[in-house]
Chain A
Amino acid sequence: ETGVTQTPRHLVMGMTNKKSLKCEQHLGHNAMYWYKQSAKKPLELMFVYNFKEQTENNSVPSRFSPECPNSSHLFLHLHTLQPEDSALYLCASSQDDIPGQPQHFGDGTRLSIL
């Protein structure tokens, strides 16, 4: 139990669907992150939120839309995705977004686009 919970664990969707990934952390952290892990690639940072404000958008296509209503919850809204978006999406949190503070990850959502 890492203190970071992601739902759903698996998601299959068509390219025209709209769905959302949810992340909740119970660690009292101020920073939350979305990462993408594709096969044979390193984890790629997508978004960073610090105190509910987005501080990093790593050139992510607009078909991915993050939402952070409070410091404990982070969503990733998905619409009109492409087959290449199939990947493992990982949420993480840390006390603050600064060096010296490790990020704690959830178990991820395995997303498959048909």
Chain B
Amino acid sequence: DQQVKQNSPSLSVQEGRISILNCDYTNSMFDYFLWYKKYPAEGPTFLISISSIKDKNEDGRFTVFLNKSAKHLSLHIVPSQPGDSAVYFCAARTYTPLVFGKGTRLSVIA
């Protein structure tokens, strides 16, 4: 049973608009959440993280929101740029190994 779920396999967004990628988790013990970005033929690159003691973390164009009661987190990218086109993975952990979602493919259309 998947503990981290990314229910949208793909998302298309116009350049300059906001991209919102969603992630749901089932394990209430998770206390650290990360987003990774992956381009073809490259490994995942760490993007941004959030601890369960926060509900928002911002880094430039990227903001992660955490809703613990809903066991939901989201990644907002604004404004979206063509170079943001990639697969985005959500991941979560406690003092257990990192658990990844299946990823969402974001396409930013110029």
Residues of A in contact with B, size category: 20 to 34
Interchain Cβ contacts within 8 Å, total number: 51
Q: Contact: B43 with A105, CB < 8 Å?
A: yes
Interface residues of B (CB under 8 A from A): 2, 4, 31-32, 34, 36, 41-46, 49, 51, 89, 93-95, 97-103
Q: Besides the contacts A99-B51, A99-B95, what 9 more A-B pairs have beta carbons closer than 8 Å?
A: A41-B102, A45-B97, A45-B98, A56-B97, A105-B43, A106-B43, A107-B41, A108-B42, A108-B43
Q: Contact: A98 with B95, CB < 8 Å?
A: yes
A residues 48-100 touching B (CB-CB < 8 Å): 48, 56, 58, 90, 92, 98-100
A12 to B45 CA separation, bound complex (whole angstroms): 26
Q: Contact: A102 with B97, CB < 8 Å?
A: no
Closest 3 A/B residue pairs (Cβ): A105-B43, A99-B32, A102-B46
A106 to B43 CA separation, bound complex (whole angstroms): 5
Q: Contact: B100 with A42, CB < 8 Å?
A: yes
Which of chain A's residues have a CB closer than 8 A to the CB of B102? Answer: 40-42
Which of chain A's residues have a CB closer than 8 A to the CB of B93? Answer: 99
A69 to B75 CA separation, bound complex (whole angstroms): 38
Nearest-neighbour CB distance to chain A for B41, whole angstroms, equals 7
Q: Contact: A100 with B51, CB < 8 Å?
A: yes
Which of chain B's residues have a CB closer than 8 A to the CB of A98? Answer: 95
Interface residues of A (CB under 8 A from B): 2, 4, 6, 40-43, 45, 48, 56, 58, 90, 92, 98-100, 102-108
Q: Contact: A105 with B44, CB < 8 Å?
A: yes
A103 to B95 CA separation, bound complex (whole angstroms): 14
Nearest-neighbour CB distance to chain A for B4, whole angstroms, equals 7
Q: Contact: A4 with B43, CB < 8 Å?
A: yes
Interface centre among A4, A102, A103, by most B CB within 10 Å? A102
Which of chain A's residues have a CB closer than 8 A to the CB of B4? Answer: 42
* Nearest opposing residue in chain A for B49, CB measure: A102
Nearest-neighbour CB distance to chain A for B29, whole angstroms, equals 11
